[in-house]
Amino acid sequence: MEYLSTRGEDSNIRFNGALLSGLARDGGLYLPKSWPKFTSSEIAAMRGLDYYQIAGEIISKFTEGDLTLDEVTQLAKESYKNFTHPDVAPLTALEDGLYTLELFHGPTIAFKDYAMQFLARAFERALAKTGRHSVILGATSGDTGSAALQAFQNLDSVDIFILFPSGRVSPIQQKQMTSLAGLGAHAVSVTGDFDICQDIVKACFNDHQFRDTVNLSAINSINWARLVPQIVYYFTSALKLGAPEQKVAFSVPTGNFGNIFAGWAAGQMGLPIEKLIVASNRNDILTRFFENGRMTRETVQQSLSPSMDIQVSSNFERLLFEVLGRDAYLCAEKMNAFATTGNFDISIDQLETAKKRFVAYRVDDVQTKSEIKSLYDKHGIIFDPHSAVGLHAAASARDDKIVPTDIPIISLACAHPAKFPDAVEKAIGIRPDLPGHLRDLMDRKETKTEIDGTVEATQKLIYGNAR
C-alpha cells in the first residue's frame, strides 16, 4: 500500500511514513493511491468476529508492507481491551429504522478514543523500529486533545503538545486535558478560536526547518492513520443491521470532516452506504457548500456543541481531491485560494458528484435543546448536544425522503452526555453524572500552559519543553 498527497508533490509513501509525517511536505493530506476493496462475501465473512478482529481485517488493508494482519489485530486487541462495553461500539435501536452508534465507551468517553488508542500504539512501534524521538503537535476543539494526551502520555519516544482555544471548550473537556500530568504531555491554552489553533499547527508543519529540527508529527485527523481506525465502526454497525445485503445510511455530527470521511472511505471499500448525512451546528460552512458548491469561511460562532465550532474543515481537502477526479494540481489551486481569500467553488457537475453520497443539514442551538428533550421524553435516554445534532439531521433526512424508509439510519453518538452537562441541563433540567472512572475529575489538579495564538509562541514553547 502506497500513499500520495492531495497536492501532488509527495508520493510513494508507505503507511509508517504517512503515520509519522502526518501532513505531507507539500501541505497536502495523504490518501491511498488506490482504495482497497472487499467483496460482498468478504464483508459477510466478518459477521461474528470480535471488534478487534474486524479492525485487524480493515486496518491491515492500509498497512501492507509495514504491518501484517496479525500485528494489526494484536495492536487493535490492546487498544480496545479497556473499553467499558463488551461490544466496544454498541448499536442501540431507538425506533424503527433509526439507531445510535455509541462511541463513548473509551477512556475519555468520546469517539476520538477509537482512533487515538490505536494510533499511540502504532506510533510507539514505528518509532521504536527507527530509534527516533518525535514531537506531536495537535489542535483540538474539545475531544481530540484529551484522547490524544491520555493515549500518548508517558511514552519515552514522544512529547505531545495539544493546543486548545481558551474559553471555547467545555469545562469537563478542559479538565480532561489539564488533569493529565503524564511525562511529555502538555495541554496548551491558546488565545483565539479553534481555527487559529489549527492554522498554527499547519504553519508549523509547513516550516520545514522547524519540522525537521524537532521531528514534528501530527495526531489530528489530518494524519491519515488517525482516520483509518474510524472506518472500523462503520463496518461493525452496518454488519449488525444486515450488511452487505442491507444498505445503510449514517448521520454524523461533523466539524473537521474526518469522521464522516472515514464513512466515505468505508463506502469506497465496498460497504453499501446509501447516504452520509453531514450534521452541522450554526457553523454551517459544510451545509452551505453542499447547497451551493461554494466553500466560504466565516467567523466561528460559539454553540452548545463546541466540538463542531469550526469554519475550516481540514479533512474536506480529501473529499475535494476525489471530487476533482484526483487532480492534485487543481486541488492545490483551490486550497491555496481558500487560504488567501477564504473562498473556493466547484462546478455544478462536481457538486452533483459529491451529493450522490452526501446530504447536509444545519441544526441551531434551539433545535439542539429541543432534540435532547424530545429524545429524553420519548426514549428515556440522555444525549449530548453533538449527538442530538446528528439525530436531528437524521430525522430531517428521513422527513425530506432523502433516505428511503427501507434503509436504516445509524446516527453516531460521539460523546458521553456528561462531557456537556450545562447544555444537557438547559434542555432537560438534569445534570448527567460522569462514569465511575472520571467521577472525581473536577477535583483533580489542573496543569496547563497559556500562550498567545501565534506560531512564534508555539515554537518557542516546544523548543523549551520537548525532551
Q: What would the pLDDT profile of 233-291 be if each residue is shown by its tens digit?
A: 999 999 999 999 999 999 999 999 999 999 999 999 999 999 999 999 999 999 999 99
* Catalytic choice (33, 61, 112, 369): 112
Rounded-to-integer distance, Cα 270 and Cα 244, Å: 8
In this prediction, residue 11 carries a pLDDT of: 85
> Is 189 within the bounds of a domain?
no
Catalytic site residue 247? no
pLDDT score of 130 more than 90: no
> Is 78 within the bounds of a domain?
no
pLDDT band at 181 (very low <50, low <70, confident <90, very high): low
How far CA 107 is from CA of 85, 415, 446, in Å, comes to 11, 11, 18
pLDDT score of 179 more than 70: yes
C-alpha cell, 280: 452541522
Q: What is the mean pLDDT of residues 421-438?
A: 96
> Is 405 within the bounds of a domain?
yes
> Is 296 within the bounds of a domain?
yes
In this prediction, residue 106 carries a pLDDT of: 97
CATH of the domain at 299: 3.40.50.1100
pLDDT score of 104 more than 80: yes
Q: 291-324 pLDDT, tens per residue? A: 999 999 999 999 999 999 999 999 999 999 999 9
Percent of the chain with pLDDT over 70: 100
Tell me if the pTM is above 0.75: yes
Give the CA-trace dihedral at 254, 286, 393, 43, to 10 degrees.
-60
DSSP letter string, 101-162:
EE---STTSBTHHHHHHHHHHHHHHHHHHHT--EEEEEE-SSHHHHHHHHHHTT-TTEEEEE
pLDDT score of 142 more than 80: no
**Triad 177, 182, 185: Cα angle to 5°:** 60
Give 376-436 as a 3 state SS string.
Answer: HHHHCCCCCHHHHHHHHHHHHHHHCCCCCCCCCEEEEECECHHHCHHHHHHHHCCCCCCCH
Q: Give me the chain's average pLDDT, please.
A: 95
Query: What Rg value do the Cα atoms of the chain yield, rounded?
Result: 20
Q: 48-76 pLDDT, tens per residue? A: 999 999 999 999 999 999 999 999 999 99
Parallel, antiparallel, or unpaired: how do β-strands 3-5 and 30-32 relate? antiparallel
Range of the domain at 379: 91-110+224-428
| Residue whose C-alpha is closest to residue 414's, from 316, 318, 268, 308 | 308
pLDDT score of 221 more than 90: no
In this prediction, residue 180 carries a pLDDT of: 83
% helix, strand, coil for the chain, step of 5: 45, 15, 35
Number of domains in the chain: 1
> Is 183 within the bounds of a domain?
no
How far CA 180 is from CA of 122, 152, 433, in Å, comes to 21, 11, 20
> Is 374 within the bounds of a domain?
yes
H or E stretch at 359: strand 358-362
pLDDT band at 141 (very low <50, low <70, confident <90, very high): confident
